[in-house]
Structure 1
């Protein structure tokens, strides 16, 4: 834990993510169960200030070593899709769906060699079992592991390298003060401008419902067992 925070402190002082390495690479299995319903899409331009990269590291540092809990979304236990939803909300003020299934449909598909900080990375950990994390830099990503809890791992670790599935980009620079749109092939997730200064949570709209805050599922009934 101390080694991780020390490394994160160096990254913050530099105001850019340049390694964000944990004391050792995690190579343990992780399985977030979700029905696979993904697709590919055109890559969008990624323009993100260095300050936002530091915000991601800062947000992550407050959750390191939080234990994994299937369906959880709090400090006492969290699963991978809830962790990704919370980090993207806290670091970038962008709302994502709660489930891995819906997160796999957000943004645009990109190649592995085009990864930038804040991109979502997905893994196939078993039959109809999928896992999601957030790319940092230099091949590293942060995620909620079933064995290590919230941690940092490397894409080239033997477990993750063989199970890498795809990456998606949901971040770009806002085009106006009224919000921005992140489009996918079959739906559009729109960031809405808060109605007041005290209303800081953006929402994400999809064809199946609206998500308004981290840790909450869509307005419709949640999947019985898949998608967490």
Structure 2
């Protein structure tokens, strides 16, 4: 009985962690296969430099569902804050709203500063900001605000689309 309860508890914790940024909103099931961008270096991009500065300010900030501040961020809350502070732009609050706005970016045209969306559990429910060179910054449920590799173990094959907010 105790092992069953422990297993059930472990499954519940894993579901919460993998749920990521299932922010409320019109998150639609993915209708396309995951895509892989062609790397673009961030070093020469003014937009990327400004976003890196915001990232450095919040690196390690814990994950908090619905969070939009240095107390904690969810994935869309971090993107919203990064765009506001780094670029002076207002973005929609949730991943679903972000998916419904901005300009669609084709896989080979993803540039630093584009918002990238990942499929988790059959839905595009996690997002981050592409920074070039296979890297993106985001608020992870397990590690807070971090940078990750799009082709890394967990993220490889999960990227489904990108949007540009110019």
TM (normalized to structure 2)? 0.74
Find out whether 1:154 has 2:149 as its counterpart: yes
1:51 to 34, 46, 52: 46
Q: Deviations over 1:173-222 (max 9, x none)?
A: xxxxxxxxxxxxxxxxxxxxxxxxxxxxxxxxxxxxxxxxxxxxxxxxxx
Q: How does 1:168-187 map to 2 (within 5 A)?
A: 168-171=163-166
Evaluate the alpha carbon distance shift between residue 129 and residue 107 of structure 1 in structure 2; reply closer, same or farther with a 3 A threshold: closer
8 Å Cα contact 2:69-2:81 kept in structure 1: no
Q: How far off is 1:89 after superposition? A: 1.0
8 Å Cα contact 1:100-1:132 kept in structure 2: yes
Q: How does 1:60-99 map to 2 (within 5 A)?
A: 60-99=55-94
What's 2:22 paired with? 33
1:131 to 118, 126, 134: 126
CA distance in 2, matches of 1:77, 1:121: 21
8 Å Cα contact 2:68-2:80 kept in structure 1: no
Evaluate the alpha carbon distance shift between residue 54 and residue 168 of structure 1 in structure 2; reply closer, same or farther with a 3 A threshold: same
Higher relative contact order (CA 8 A, sep 6+): 2
How many correspondences in the alignment?
Answer: 136
CA distance in 1, matches of 2:98, 2:84: 13
8 Å Cα contact 1:29-1:145 kept in structure 2: no
RMSD: 2.2
Greater shift, 97-106 or 125-134, is seen at 125-134
Q: How far off is 1:129 after superposition? A: 5.6
Q: How far off is 1:167 after superposition? A: 0.6
Secondary structure of the corresponding residue to residue 158 of structure 1: coil
Q: How far off is 1:50 after superposition? A: 3.4
Runs of 4 or more above 4 Å deviation: none
What's 1:164 paired with? 159
Ranges in structure 2 where 5+ consecutive residues have no aligned partner? 1-16, 33-43
**Greater helix share, 1 or 2?**
2
Q: Deviations over 1:63-86 (max 9, x none)?
A: 000000111112121100000000
